[in-house]
Amino acid sequence: MNFPDSQLVAEASELAVRQLFTGWRWVVGKDFIDVGYDFVITPDQSVFKGARFCVQVKGTATRGKRSYVAKVSKQRLRQYADCVVPVFILRVLPDGRILWLDARRWCQEHPGRLAGSGETGLKFPDSNVLSDEGEFMEYLKPSMLPMGQRRDAVASAANERAAYLSSIDDRLRVRIDYVNGRESYAVSAAKPNEEFAAGLVINPVPQSANVEKLRDAMNYGVPAEFDVAEFRMTGSPLFEEIGADRGLVGRVSLRPTRSESVQVTMVPGEKFSLTAASVQIDSRLYRGARGLAVLSEGEQSPLSLRAQFDPSENGTKANITLSTNTSGYLSSAPVANLTALAGFAEWFEQATTKRSIWLCFDFDVGRVPAVLGEAEVSRMLPVFGHLAYLSKLHAITKFCASGFQLPLSYELSDQELDEIDTLYKILRGERVEIGLQSLQFDPQREFDGSCGEFIATTELVFVILGNEVGKFPVAIQLKDFDLLPGTEKFSWRLQRVEGAQSLLYYDEHSSA
């Protein structure tokens, strides 16, 4: 009995494929039990370290207008899509050429054509001729090289993992991140406009600050991070797959899905004034079960704002707190570049005089004003005062083009604060009393001791936290000092008496 033509074609095609790969010195094997693949191929072991791919040989295929098309059952294609190793369909043409198609990749790119029963036609590009070993190896490398050698291996694995997890529950989508050596999951509703309800059990670590963060997140809808003794999620098989249905221990971050932009303006005094200095804080509005909260946004502000609004039958109670931004803004760049500090010194001077601050919350629906009285302002003066000194330091460093930068942790001494204040004043054109008690000197020209006023010039070296910030030519005006004979080293001595003045000022025309 002779072979049927179809079987003869199939045998001849498989023989051609075997001869090709064997000629490349690749290992050609077969499964003992037919599970849908004609061969299992092990390419160059020195490159791929034993990785393999599966081959299905097609002896027949119809010729379309531009390419050959092979019919494959959808059930078989679903098998290829799930296969953990690459799957290639090969078509041996009558002229001996062998066309190839990456079946697993095709299935991943055309998931909509795999559903149901029947067959699907797969097109073989005419350019995919299996003839050059080097070219085919280059194609195999992204998916078959050892994981550590693959370019974008982590991203590729994360995308594949995310696709699998997203397929578990069609109501949800999953994004994968790699954080501190472990998988991190971002789970969201599959459709942006639809919500998904899940069961959530959160038992925080019983520490007052920790519990307070969770309470604020629930009551006011603000972002929060806190430690939990137990965390569980129910309502989807996805949670079981990622282990979220078990009692987990760790740190939980809660982020609201909705918030609104709010501009907060602070003006010294009890009402808005066009002539008063103002400070703006970019903030966001959050809503919770109990009330509203406004938090300063981002890290580009020296001030942090937190305001809570609790509505009741008797009106809305507001609790407003202002503090120094501890997120690292003040040490993020040279002080001269911290533009948010500009003008704060003038604002502080006015706030200190007025002893009150008018705040305005500009919501999308309207403006809500509030006033901080003398008691609240007095409590916040240390915060405002510190930032006022830094505002002056910003102006000084900008004046002398200094690259001085504050460390993440620092403490300015009283002497340094006084020097900042003095230098800021004289650079603004003021003359500052420095309390000089005496000065000995030798005159630069002939002097008979009859002058009643003296000018001494020198150079002020400005040092902060052990770092030289800049040098400034200054002069000291000495008025109504007694002129006395000097010691052995100097000819004359000026001695302070009652009513005398020693005024320091910036001497821009002197080279000191």
Q: What is the pLDDT of residue 512?
A: 43
Which residues does 18 contact at the CB level (< 8 Å), separation at least 6?
28, 39
**What pLDDT score was predicted for residue 6?**
61
Q: Tell me: the pLDDT tens digits for 361-402?
A: 888 777 888 888 888 888 888 888 899 999 999 999 999 999
pLDDT the model gives residue 130? 93
Burial grade of 193 (CB within 10 A; 0-12, 13-18, 19 or more)? exposed
Identify the pLDDT of residue 202.
Answer: 87
Residues 99/20, Cβ–Cβ less than 8 Å: no
Long-range contacts of 376-379 (CB under 8 A, 24+ apart): 376/320, 377/351
Instruction: Round to whole Å and give the CA distance between 503 and 247.
Output: 71
SS3 29: strand
> What is the Cα–Cα distance from 28 to 166, expressed in whole angstroms?
36
pLDDT in tens, the chain (512 residues): 565 666 777 788 899 999 999 999 999 999 888 888 999 999 999 999 999 999 999 876 556 566 788 889 999 999 999 898 999 999 988 888 899 999 999 998 898 899 889 999 888 888 899 999 999 999 999 889 888 888 888 888 888 889 889 989 988 999 988 878 888 888 888 887 777 788 888 888 999 998 999 999 999 999 999 999 998 988 999 999 988 888 888 888 888 888 888 888 999 999 888 888 888 888 899 999 999 999 987 667 888 889 898 888 787 788 888 888 877 788 889 999 998 888 888 988 898 888 999 988 888 777 888 888 888 888 888 888 899 999 999 999 999 999 999 998 889 999 999 999 999 999 999 999 999 999 888 877 777 666 668 888 899 999 999 999 999 999 999 998 888 888 878 888 888 999 999 999 999 766 54
| Residue 444 buriedness (CB in 10 A; 0-12 / 13-18 / 19+) | exposed
How many CA atoms lie less than 13 Å away from 399 in the CB half-sphere? Answer: 20
Residue 462, strand partner residues: 470
